[in-house]
Structure 1
């Protein structure tokens, strides 16, 4: 009996075990059916790609960190100054060259200080603010005067001509590149001094040659007189060039005290300058188209502004095609320009011709010495002859009509009435205008497509 109960229990246990096995088998088959072989391969491929992307990202991050460290070393060792300020004009960092140019120590402490506290340069501060407002790169040139708290070091803190290039960064930050222009300024000064010395040395022998040529001119017969005439014309041309160089040197060395300002009618002065150049204009059948008030009183040095008008009109005549008009516009404007050095009330003088205009790449250099945008555009011999004849006649008329005081003030300015294609006419214009606390700029007129020279002069001198 007990054996039968044993067999019954064994059978029941085997049945329960078989049922449980069948259930596990079904669940295993269901799981296997849900995991298809294709999906398994895709999952493995995705995991493999993810691991490769992570490895590539780690390598790229390490490469970026290496490049960042390289650029950091290059910035610190760069021969130009580099500095960065935040949105509040606080100095973030600067390299050693910037610290040397601005006489400051590169910041090491975590606390930041205003750049204006470290560097007393309002020009640099204004450049940074201009870059932040305009959101575009800007450039500025100025002379930096270092401030030293140690009185024993004052003699060593010499003014430094600097040039700064700024560019906007994100979050209101601004980066600035600084370079010293000391070497360029010294070279320019040496060049100008050498040119001035040569001009002084040439003035005396040229005067002697001219006197000899004028003496022989009245004593020789016509076959030989032609050679003397050519010699005299070339001597006058060289004397004009020498006088231009001497005038430039005088204006650059001591511009303001040499001015003899008084109230002058600018309209009358324009008409007088055009009348003096009328032989050149008549040769090309050019006419003057003046637009402006009939009377415009302004404080200026009459002889020097007369020289400015002669050079501007001569330049317009030189490059205007025949039978065209040269437009001269004079008007009173309010100084809404960004230049704080100009007076509030300005006289704007525009000289517009109908020529080919200035090449776009030559516009920044048209007021430089000896610069001519197109060397092939020189005067014809006939124009040179008319110019020289006019120069001699005008000098004689000016000597007869000027008073003793005016003759003394105009000495050295009316000796040469027009430029002779040497590339000094517009350079003299800029020097004279800047001596009057004005400005001059060149562009191409949108209507005539010719040269457009604009002169801005203060209506009344602030120091008058």
Structure 2
């Protein structure tokens, strides 16, 4: 009986356990059933959506690849050279024009090499570094001396005047556009040589014509002499044009022209020029208003610097209204001189401002004031002065201010044209180095 009771209890216990397991399984099934059915419902539409997104990304990649190829084709077709370097100045890509300009004979598409190994141009390398450091577009012009591995081609390899325009790109990369300006330079030089040769040829016949006109002047009576006098003026104008052109051509061919430097006192120099122009100033009742320190001495070429002030003051006189003054303001600026053995030391710069009371320059003319043969109003003739005169529309050969700039540059100075906000007239500002105040220093000897 005890054994039967034991097995009966065991069977009841097993039954209860099985029943509990069945109930637990049913309970878990009821709980998981919504989740399973929801997962099926979510999974079925997700696969097509993923497929659509993958297809869309692939299409975008193809579009980008096509755009990249289009841009490369455009750059290959462009007349400018283009190259791109990474953050370590390794050449990533360049078009055919850049390869031709820089003589990139050893580089192949897809090859990544240090740019300086391929192109021995420290100017280009410095431009790229400067662009990356400043994160601003830069422009530089220099003479490029290409190297050539093929000795047979060396006689045909010539130096080039290049202009590079660079721009910063993401991830430290830099893009550079290259322009070969050598053909333009050669054309300008050829033009200058042609004009110079023509000017040389014109000097002799013009001199002969002038001698004939002088002879006629002494033999003709009024009113016929009026036409001869007019002819003499035009001949003199042509002779002056030819001489000015030859002078300017020589200056531009040799910017560091031979200067015969002497020490001059600034106020005496300007007074001497004004005295030369006194007949014109008296006719228009003009006066000179000089302001600035006394006893300023400057080391210049006397003949050349006299020519500068003669031209500038003559222009101011021509285009100043009667009964006005021409201002000459002189001051000393402090600069920095790097020639000192001890490092940087202060250096004096002479600034001279010439201001008249005319109509001044037009804004459109200002950038071109110092260009050869430039006159603001193309309709004006050489034989008549305008009623409203301004320095920006000089009646003459159009070479005077170009010569003035070349002389100032040869002295290591600068000149710029503006309009004075007070008088509204033309304002010429000159800056020249090596000025000494109070006395004639032995350093200038």
Instruction: Using structure 2 for the length normalisation, give the TM-score.
Output: 0.74
**1:280–1:383: 8 Å Cα contact kept in structure 2?**
no
Matched, 1:371 2:374: yes
Deviation at 1:162, TM superposition (A): 1.3
- Stretch of structure 1 that moved more, 441-450 or 427-436: 441-450
Select which of 436, 443, 462 maps to 2:411: 436
Q: Distance in 1 between matches of 2:288 and 2:218?
A: 37
Within 5 Å, give how 1:108-119 maps onto structure 2: 108=108, 112-113=113-114, 115=116, 118-119=118-119
1:95 alignment partner in structure 2: 95
Deviation at 1:79, TM superposition (A): 2.8
CA distance 1:177–1:359, shift in 2 (3 Å): farther
Select which of 332, 336, 356 maps to 1:353: 356
Deviation at 1:178, TM superposition (A): 0.8
**2:80–2:177: 8 Å Cα contact kept in structure 1?**
yes
2:175 alignment partner in structure 1: 175
Deviation at 1:451, TM superposition (A): 3.3
- Stretch of structure 1 that moved more, 426-435 or 271-280: 271-280
1:185 alignment partner in structure 2: 185
Instruction: Using CA pairs under 8 Å that are at least 6 residues apart, name the structure with larger relative contact order, 1 or 2.
Output: 1
Deviation at 1:361, TM superposition (A): 4.1
1:397 alignment partner in structure 2: none
Deviation at 1:370, TM superposition (A): 0.9
Q: Give per-residue Cα distances to partners, 1:407-435, cap 9 Å, x unaligned.
A: xxxxxxxxxxxx85221111111222222
Look up the SS of the partner of 2:195 in the other structure: helix
**2:337–2:347: 8 Å Cα contact kept in structure 1?**
no
Return 5+ residue gaps in structure 2 as ranges: 1-22, 339-345, 388-393, 436-442
Q: Distance in 2 between matches of 1:242 and 1:136?
A: 45
CA distance 1:307–1:53, shift in 2 (3 Å): farther
Deviation at 1:269, TM superposition (A): 1.8
Q: Give per-residue Cα distances to partners, 1:371-411, cap 9 Å, x unaligned.
A: 12332466774699xxxxxxxxxxxxxxxxxxxxxxxxxxx
CA distance 1:205–1:447, shift in 2 (3 Å): same
2:251 alignment partner in structure 1: 251
**2:263–2:444: 8 Å Cα contact kept in structure 1?**
no
CA distance 1:337–1:54, shift in 2 (3 Å): farther
Instruction: Using structure 1 for the length normalisation, give the TM-score.
Output: 0.71
Select which of 402, 406, 413 maps to 1:427: 402
Within 5 Å, give how 1:2-81 maps onto structure 2: 56-81=56-81
Q: Distance in 2 between matches of 1:334 and 1:124?
A: 33
Q: Give per-residue Cα distances to partners, 1:20-41, cap 9 Å, x unaligned.
A: 9xx99xx89x97xxx9xxxx9x
Return 5+ residue gaps in structure 1 as ranges: 1-19, 385-418
Q: Distance in 2 between matches of 1:264 and 1:64?
A: 69
Look up the SS of the partner of 1:332 in the other structure: strand
Q: Distance in 2 between matches of 1:102 and 1:163?
A: 12
2:433 alignment partner in structure 1: 458
CA distance 1:175–1:428, shift in 2 (3 Å): same
Q: Distance in 2 between matches of 1:211 and 1:299?
A: 40
Q: Distance in 1 between matches of 2:47 and 2:291?
A: 81
The count of aligned residue pairs is 397
**2:357–2:426: 8 Å Cα contact kept in structure 1?**
yes
